[in-house]
Amino acid sequence: MGSWAVVTGATDGIGKVYAEKLAKIGLNVVLVSRSPEKLKAVENEISAGSNVQVKTVAVDFGDGNHIYERIEKELQGLEIGVLVNNVGMAYKNPSYFLEVDREDHAKIINVNIFSCVMMTNIILPQMIDRKKGVIVNISSASAMMPSPLLATYSASKVFVDYFSQALEREYKDKGIIIQSVLPFFVKTNMSKIKKSSFFMPTPATYVDQAIGTIGVASKTFGCLAHALQGFVVQGLAPDWLVDYVSLKMHIDIRKRALRKKQK
């Protein structure tokens, strides 16, 4: 039957490319994402481009606890070698904490944090039984420093990063690779970036490099351009400057978004 990779948030952006690339190297893939139509389209695309099996599970990770029983059932009997916890949700635009609905804060926590914990909890035991497996958790460069106007989002990504690092130390002796990935901007729907560049790559360019770091780095910015940005932010720029730039950038993006909404 062969080994499977499970990818959450697999119908667009970074997650879709992970799914495509894992299929290209011969893994069957389970796509776990929200929209059934998009799942069908990606299933067809992957099936047309490779000889692997593709299975889809339509769930909204924002819904919280009750979805995991169904996910666990759908995954029963599959030998899962790779889990990519990619699904993520951010604010529509950078916003002050009280401008974001309470419901959206809860959804961000469910989608970004709870999904990562629960999917790992479902899949890790069989990896431990086989003494091998790979778990890739997509955090964010916004976990490196406090990100004003993205408070709940960036704090959720700190969780993902620390969760990964702690598990990596717990389970590396058991043959499990656990990786935390911290992208800066990638051209996707979430980032709303319209044009890619060296520092804001397409998901294809980004994942192409990020996937090569599995088993090499337990924590990575994922691609060369982002490693350079990380070096500047962590190693060269003083904290006050990073704070100033981050606050100003998010206030400016918020203002532009509000102006656009008013038009």
Ligand X SMILES: NC(=O)c1ccc[n+]([C@@H]2O[C@H](COP(=O)([O-])OP(=O)(O)OC[C@H]3O[C@@H](n4cnc5c(N)ncnc54)[C@H](OP(=O)(O)O)[C@@H]3O)[C@@H](O)[C@H]2O)c1
> Could you give the CA distance from residue 178 to residue 164 in angstroms, rounded to a whole number?
6
Q: Indicate whether 19 belongs to the interface with ligand X (CB under 6 A).
A: no
Which one-letter amino acid corresponds to residue 66?
Answer: H
**Closest distance between ligand X and the C-beta of residue 209, in Å?**
14
Stretch that binds ligand X, among 34-42, 49-57, 119-127, 220-228 (CB under 6 A): 34-42
Stretch that binds ligand X, among 54-62, 170-178, 215-223, 234-242 (CB under 6 A): 54-62
- The set of catalytic residues is 153
Q: Between 125 and 206, whose beta carbon lies closer to ligand X? A: 206
Q: Indicate whether 222 belongs to the interface with ligand X (CB under 6 A).
A: no
Identified binder of ligand X from the candidate list 71, 78, 82, 138, rule CB under 6 A: 138
Q: Indicate whether 135 belongs to the interface with ligand X (CB under 6 A).
A: no
Helix (H) or strand (E) holding 249: helix 239-262
Identified binder of ligand X from the candidate list 117, 128, 145, 190, rule CB under 6 A: 190
Identified binder of ligand X from the candidate list 28, 33, 120, 246, rule CB under 6 A: 33
The DSSP code for 149 is T
Q: In which order are the strands placed within the sheet that holds 4-8?
A: 54-58, 28-33, 4-8, 80-85, 133-138, 176-181, 219-220
Q: Indicate whether 76 belongs to the interface with ligand X (CB under 6 A).
A: no
> Could you give the CA distance from residue 99 to residue 103 in angstroms, rounded to a whole number?
12
Residues from 85 through 124 that contact ligand X (CB under 6 A): 86-89, 111
Q: Indicate whether 35 belongs to the interface with ligand X (CB under 6 A).
A: yes
Q: Indicate whether 188 belongs to the interface with ligand X (CB under 6 A).
A: yes
Identified binder of ligand X from the candidate list 3, 12, 45, 254, rule CB under 6 A: 12
- The DSSP bridge partners found for residue 32 are 8, 57
Identified binder of ligand X from the candidate list 47, 126, 191, 196, rule CB under 6 A: 191
Q: Indicate whether 60 belongs to the interface with ligand X (CB under 6 A).
A: yes
- The DSSP bridge partners found for residue 133 are 176
The contacts of residue 241 (CB under 8 Å, 6+ apart) are none
Question: Would you put residue 87 in left (φ > 0), alpha (ψ -120 to 50) or beta?
Answer: beta
The contacts of residue 128 (CB under 8 Å, 6+ apart) are 171, 174, 176
**Closest distance between ligand X and the C-beta of residue 175, in Å?**
26
Q: Indicate whether 229 belongs to the interface with ligand X (CB under 6 A).
A: no
> Could you give the CA distance from residue 159 to residue 51 in angstroms, rounded to a whole number?
36
- The DSSP bridge partners found for residue 138 are 181
**Closest distance between ligand X and the C-beta of residue 230, in Å?**
12
Binding site for ligand X (CB under 6 A): 9-15, 33-35, 38, 60-62, 86-89, 111, 138, 140, 183, 185-186, 188-191, 203
